[in-house]
Amino acid sequence: MTIMNQVKTDNSSSTLASNSTVLRIVTAGSVDNGKSTLIGRLLYDSKKILQDQLENIEAAKERYGNETINLAFLTDGLRAEREQGITIDVAYRYFTSDKRKYILADCPGHIQYTKNMVTGASTADAAIILIDAKAGFIEQSRRHTYLSMLLGVSHVIFAINKMDLMDYSKDTYEAIRSEIVDWLPKESNSDYHFIPISALEGDNIVKKLDNMPWYEGEALIDFLDNLQVNPKNVFDHFRFPVQWVVRPQSNEFHDFRGYAGTVASGHVSVGDEVTVLPSGLSTKVKSIQIGGKDVEKVSPGLSPTILLEDDLDISRGSLICAKAKPALSDNRINAVVTWLNAKPAQTGKRYWLKHSTRWVKVIIEDLNNELNLHSLNFEESSSSSLELNGIAKVSLNCSEEIYYDLYEDNRTTGSFIIVDENNFETVGAGMITA
Amino acid sequence: MLCEEIDTLTYLEAESINILRELVAECEKPVLLFSAGKDSIVVLHLALKAFAPAKLPFPLMHVDTGHNFPETIEFRDRKLAEIDEKLIIASVQKSIDDGRVDEQSGPYASRNRLQSVTLLDAIKEHGFDVAIGGARRDEERARAKERIFSHRDAFGQWDPKNQRPELWSLYNGRHRQGEHFRVFPLSNWTEMDIWQYILRENIEIPELYFAKKRKVFDRNGMLLTPSSFIENLPGEEIFEASVRYRTIGDATCTAAIPSEADTLEKVIEEIIATRTSERGQSRADDKTSEAAMEDRKREGYF
């Protein structure tokens, strides 16, 4: 009899989730600058490429007649992607270190996939911009950097790759670094970091090898492990969009009326004063439950059910806020919108808009400045439409007031999606500006 | 938002609860697909937490191939009685009897792929517009590209090249008549997260997940369980070994693995040490082609 091959490894990273935290990252880059190799390396060196997945890649290698194992085959999930050798869609990858669970949104790099980069960056805490040291800080890297900052990614990490092809030269690295620093805006909500790497050799990814003794910083994974909240991005006012009203209507919980949602920002404790939008009325938090059990206080990211002292008119779409600083409300808002659909955006046309837990109708009134994806400047546009992958500053007129914060302050209460009225496809994504 | 104040399992739990509440609010008639496997047991646990102290705002449905491990059915029925929720059984046997699908024959026969038709028929019959599933993106690379709210057209098909973009946590559950969604609250969980959550929350799972002496036979390196549903090939000898199951699916294509791990802690230790992925190790159905999962998903599989 043959007992299956269970390859054992000395895996010192026991990946105990109990004391780890989650970090969400986005990577962008094109086929040429080694993104798939980097990701393959992160997965492989942190022992996440499993035996049978390697066998699948081996089989695919023969099928497509490639000469060497292509680590990109690990990340290209769809048959069309493998056949065409391109990445079409955002793929989500998972790996763990001793300190963190990583959720990595792997985005294709081409300009026609700007929508995917925007999607991947929308939830990311950190962006890895992969730069080919041979090619320098090219237009595509500038675009990815710009989009990461636009989407409010706290940490932008420039991984200067292919250092092995540049004799691990400090001068090359420093030259690219200063070119990037010169280009970056002087004021930004994002922090910048630089790491010279060789994804192919595994240098400064999981381990520091001996090739670049002049580099005094950490390897990429250690750097990510120790990354902390960027203090520029902390918005500590309580925001709680109501998702669902919990009313058991049973004898045991006859009078129970709880508001279920996810804390978008800030903290709330039993006894705190809150203001509820749209009514503007205030009350106090009576109790907080998670999974039916009482807790004293909740922090951002948690999904409690909150009970209030007074019986106010609250339903899905209401926003419970800190009384000291409630959210803004208006039906006319300014925003930066990315268009995600082949059918262009049109001014004057009606769409649905979903903001936090509310749906309203919306008309794009003005579509003036459009981002030039090459120069990365907003330019005056005379067009009344916005094409797929286009990014523009717009003014919107909503059918009802929405309760919001600026996107730069709060990614949850500052963002929305635009949905087609007829086929309900998600056609646009927006960030509210002043 | 970098959630430094909450640990990984708490983060994942809160995200899944948010997804469950959102789909209930966005759609008309959801159903939770419940197979009594560990992933769907975790989804059920999360759903009970999401709506507590109220009852679940949706029924459960088991797509039953008829080729079950007896322990699975015993567990399913006991669990349902305990939480006093409604279970719908969508039967693959009935689909066969009604001529909706053709039963495969021979030693490699499996009803695994037939489930798609039974599932789609049941969704239509009951008018469900969301089927909640326990699939995870780390299971298989076609799944790595699937949305949390995954749209299905009127034919129940998934179009991987034309998926709705999913930004922030703004899920779009709107759809036209006849279309539906598959929603995957565990999208961002890994197998390890699932096990550690089961441990932390002290969630009961079927005993098949723990090592015990069981009768098995070897087929292409997979240890299958003898039953009346599987035709044995010449030379496939039945023997006894200490094994456990890493996944529990249709009995004809779910393999056991040699193991001495008879407690949750030991199972977790063993998974940490292993280098073979869950599906590769115990699912014969994924070995049939390089894009086996993508093909099955396109036609309506879970």
Q: Dump pLDDT digits (tens) for A68-77.
A: 555 555 555 5
Task: Count how many pairs of residues, chain A against chain B, have C-beta atoms within 8 Å.
Answer: 255
Q: What does the pLDDT look like over A319-356, one tens digit per residue?
A: 999 999 999 999 999 999 999 999 999 999 999 999 99
The alpha-carbon gap from B104 to the nearest alpha carbon of chain A, in Å, equals 26
Residue of higher predicted confidence among A215 and A255:
A215
Rounded to the nearest 10°, the torsion over CA B250, B251, B255, B260 is 120
Q: Which of A23, A80, A265 sits opposite B2 (nearest CB)?
A: A23
- Residue A278 confidence (pLDDT) above 80: yes
Residue with tokens 């456990």: B244
Q: What is the pLDDT of residue A20?
A: 87
> Could you tell me the two tokens for A325?
């600083």
Chain A residue with Cα closest to B48? A291
Q: What is the pLDDT of residue B278?
A: 60
- Residue B93 confidence (pLDDT) above 90: no
B165 to A340: CB separation less than 8 angstroms, yes or no: yes
B145 to A89: CB separation less than 8 angstroms, yes or no: yes
User: How far, in Å, CA of A361 to CA of A347, rounded?
Assistant: 14
B6 to A429: CB separation less than 8 angstroms, yes or no: no
Q: Which one of A43, A52, A116 would you mutate to disrupt binding with B, by most B Cβ within 10 Å of its Cβ?
A: A52
Query: Could you tell me the pLDDT band of residue A14, with boundaries at 50, 70 and 90?
Result: very low
CA angle (B128 as vertex; B125, B134 as ends), nearest 5: 120
User: How far, in Å, CA of B269 to CA of B285, rounded?
Assistant: 26
Residue of higher predicted confidence among A14 and A348:
A348
Q: Which residues pair with B88 in a beta bridge?
A: B61
List the single range of A39-53, A152-166, A203-217 with lowest mean pLDDT: A39-53
Q: Which one of A101, A252, A340, A391 would you mutate to disrupt binding with B, by most B Cβ within 10 Å of its Cβ?
A: A101
Q: Which of B21, B188, B190 sits opposite A260 (nearest CB)?
A: B21
Query: Could you tell me the pLDDT band of residue A16, with boundaries at 50, 70 and 90?
Result: very low
B294 to A411: CB separation less than 8 angstroms, yes or no: no
Q: Which of A76, A94, A125 sits opposite B2 (nearest CB)?
A: A125
B192 to A92: CB separation less than 8 angstroms, yes or no: no
Q: Residue A300 carries which side chain, given as an amino acid letter?
A: P
- The ipTM value here is 0.89
Per DSSP, chain B holds a count of helices (H) and strands (E) of 9, 10
- Residue A29 confidence (pLDDT) above 50: yes
Q: What is the pLDDT of residue B98?
A: 85
* % of chain A at pLDDT higher than 70: 84
Packing angle of the helix pair B191-201, B264-273 (nearest 10 deg): 160
Q: What is the pLDDT of residue A79?
A: 60
User: How far, in Å, CA of A150 to CA of A297, rounded?
Assistant: 32
> Could you tell me the two tokens for A36?
């798939």
Query: For chain B, which domains are there?
Result: 8-193+291-298 (3.40.50.620), 205-287 (no CATH)
Mode of pairing for the β-strands spanning A297-298 and A239-246: unpaired
A89 to B3: CB separation less than 8 angstroms, yes or no: no
Query: For chain A, which domains are there?
Result: 17-231 (3.40.50.300), 239-322 (2.40.30.10), 328-433 (2.40.30.10)
Q: Are A362 and A402 in contact (CB under 8 A)?
A: no
A289 to B52: CB separation less than 8 angstroms, yes or no: yes
Using the Cβ of A382 and the Cβ atoms of chain B, whether some distance falls under 8 Å is answered with no
User: How far, in Å, CA of A249 to CA of A308, rounded?
Assistant: 18
Query: Could you tell me the pLDDT band of residue A309, with boundaries at 50, 70 and 90?
Result: very high
Query: Could you tell me the pLDDT band of residue B9, with boundaries at 50, 70 and 90?
Result: very high
B145 to A77: CB separation less than 8 angstroms, yes or no: yes
List the single range of A16-20, A252-256, A340-344, B154-158 with lowest mean pLDDT: A16-20
